[in-house]
Structure 1
Amino acid sequence: MLTLDAFSIYIMLCILAPLLGAFTLLFLIIFEKRIDLLEKQTREIALERELQTALYNQLNQEIQPHFFFNTLNSILSLARLDRKTELINSIETLSKLLKFKYQKNESIITIEEELTYTGHYLEIQKIRFRDRLNYQISIEPNVKQAVIIPFMIQTFVENAFKHAFEKVPGEAILKINIVKKEQDVHVSVWNNSTNLVQQFQQSVGGLGINNIEKRLKLLFPNKHTAIQLSNTGDGTIVFAIFPFISQAKK
C-alpha cells in the first residue's frame, strides 16, 4: 500500500510529466525554427556575397577594354607618324603588359603588381611622348604588398593622358605617391595640367573613377574608402584612401 507521501509524489509526477513534455516540445519547436532562421540568413548572406563578387568581377572586366583601347590608340599614333623603332618597342612593351595581365588574372592584386602593370603603360607613353613626358613613382616599402583593386593606379594615370597630356601641349609631368598613414593606404597621382577636373567632368560619366569607387566599396565593405579629384593650383591630383591589408609575399 502506498503511503501518503509516496502517493503525493506520484500525483505530482503525473502532473509535472505532461508539463515537462510540453515545455520540451515547445523548446524543440523554437530551437528548430531558430535553426531554420539561421540557415536562411546564412543562405541570404552567401547569396549576397556571391552577388557582390559577381558585380565586383563585372566592374573589373568593364574597365579592361577601356584601358586596352586607349593603349592601342597610343600605339596606332606611332604607326601614323611612321616612328617604326618606337612602334616596335611599344608593341614589345604591350606584349609584356598582356603577359603580366593574363598571368595575374585575379580580382585583387598587390600594389607592387599594380605598379608593374602601370609601369608598362608608362613605358608605352614615354615612347610616344619622348622627352615631353617625365614621371616619378614614390612608394613606401611597407605598402608594396598591400592589396589593391586591379587597374586603379593605372586608371588614374590613364586619365591624366586622356584628359590632359593629349589635349594640352607642353611638358607633361606625372607623380605617383603611395604611403601608409595609420591603418590606411593613401594613393595620389598628380599631373601638371590645371584643367583635368573640368575635362573629366565634361567626359562621358567619368567611367573609370566611378568604377573604382564602386569596386573599393565592394572590396572593403563597411570600411572607409574615398576618391577625390581636385586642382592644386599648379596641377591636378587624384587621391584615393582605402584600408591597409597586407598580402603575404609568395
Structure 2
Amino acid sequence: MISASALFSIIIFLSLLIPIIALVILSILKLLEKEFDYLQMENMQIQLETQLHQMEYLQLNQQIRPHFLFNSLNAMMSLARLNKNEDLIQSMEKFSLFLRYQNKDKESLVPFEKELEHTKNYLAIQQLRFGKKLEIDIAIDGHAAQTLLPPYTLQTFVENAFKHGLENKRGEKKLQIDLQRKGNWVVLKVMDNGETEANKYLTEGDGTGMENIRKRMELLFELHTEVSMKRKPEWTEVKAIWPYTPGESQ
C-alpha cells in the first residue's frame, strides 16, 4: 500500500509535470499553426503566380491569331487579283477550317498532329497561290507526333518563312517541316530557301515572332526550351526544342 508521503510526492510530481507537458503541447500547436499559415501563404503565392502566368500566356496567344488572319486574307486577295476563282473558293474552304480550329482552341497545349493539320490548311492556300513553284516537304517522326506544344507554334514558323523568305523569292520556292524526337526532347525545324533577313525573322514589330514562341514555351515548360534561327548558304532554318510531353492522338 502506497504511503501518504509517497502519494504526496507523486501528486507534487504530476502537478509539476502536467504544466510542462501542456506547455510543450501548446508550443507544438503554435509551431504547427505557423507552419500551416506559411503553407497557406505559399499556396496563395503559387496560385497568384500561376494566374499571372496564365494571363501572360493568354495575352501572347491572342497576338498570334490576328497575324494568321491577315496573312490568309492577303493570300486570298492575291488569288482574286489573278482571277483564280476555283482556287479562291478552295482557299476560302481552308480558311473556314482555320476559323473552326480557332474557336475550338482553348487549351494552352495542343497535340502536334492537330497543329500540323491546322497548318496544312494555311499551306493549301499558299499552294494554290504559287502552284508548282512551291515545293513542300513534311517529315514527321512517329515517336514525336503526339507531343504537345503551344498552339500556333508551327503555324508561326511557317508564316514567317513565307513573309520573310518565300513571298518575294523568284523561281522555285521550297519549304521543309521536320519533327524529330531526341530522347526526352522534341526538335522542330522549319526551313525555307528564301532570302531571309535574320533580324526580321527573330523579332517582329507586332510581337508575334520568335520571341512570342520563346516566351510561351518558357511559361509552359519547367525544363529547358530553345527557339533559334540560323541562316545557311541556301536555307534559313528556324528551330524549337522543348521537353517531350505526350498527349492524346487526334
Q: TM-score scaled by structure 2? A: 0.93
Matched, 1:248 2:244: no
CA deviation profile, 1:102-122 (whole Å, cap 9, x unmatched): 234422110000000010000
Q: Aligned to 1:112, what secondary structure does the other structure show?
A: helix
What is the alpha-carbon distance in structure 2 between the residues aligned to residue 244 and residue 56 of structure 1? 20
Aligned 1:69-218 pairs, distance under 5 A: 69-200=70-201, 203-204=204-205, 207-218=208-219
What is the alpha-carbon distance in structure 2 between the residues aligned to residue 121 and residue 19 of structure 1? 77
Provide the residue aligned with 2:226 in structure 1. 226
| Structure 2: runs of 5+ lacking an equivalent | none
Distance 1:26 1:194, change over 3 A: same
Provide the residue aligned with 2:66 in structure 1. 65
Count residues in correspondence. 249
RMSD: 1.8
Report sequence identity in percent.
37
Conserved? CA contact 2:87–2:128, under 8 Å: yes
Q: Aligned to 2:239, what secondary structure does the other structure show?
A: strand
Conserved? CA contact 2:177–2:191, under 8 Å: yes
Conserved? CA contact 1:180–1:186, under 8 Å: yes
Conserved? CA contact 1:156–1:189, under 8 Å: yes
Conserved? CA contact 1:179–1:186, under 8 Å: yes
Conserved? CA contact 1:194–1:233, under 8 Å: no
Conserved? CA contact 1:160–1:196, under 8 Å: no
Shift of 1:199: 4.1
Q: TM-score scaled by structure 1? A: 0.93
Amino acid paired to 2:237: I
Of 116-125 and 206-215, more deviation after overlay is shown by: 206-215
Distance 1:170 1:92, change over 3 A: same
Shift of 1:172: 0.9
Provide the residue aligned with 1:13 in structure 2. 14
| Structure 1: runs of 5+ lacking an equivalent | none
What is the alpha-carbon distance in structure 2 between the residues aligned to residue 159 and residue 141 of structure 1? 26
Matched, 1:52 2:53: yes
Shift of 1:45: 0.8
Q: Aligned to 1:141, what secondary structure does the other structure show?
A: coil
Amino acid paired to 1:64: R
What is the alpha-carbon distance in structure 1 between the residues aligned to residue 210 and residue 153 of structure 2? 8
Aligned 1:17-36 pairs, distance under 5 A: 17-36=18-37
What is the alpha-carbon distance in structure 2 between the residues aligned to residue 218 and residue 124 of structure 1? 32
Of 119-128 and 139-148, more deviation after overlay is shown by: 139-148
Amino acid paired to 1:238: V
What is the alpha-carbon distance in structure 2 between the residues aligned to residue 239 and residue 166 of structure 1? 20
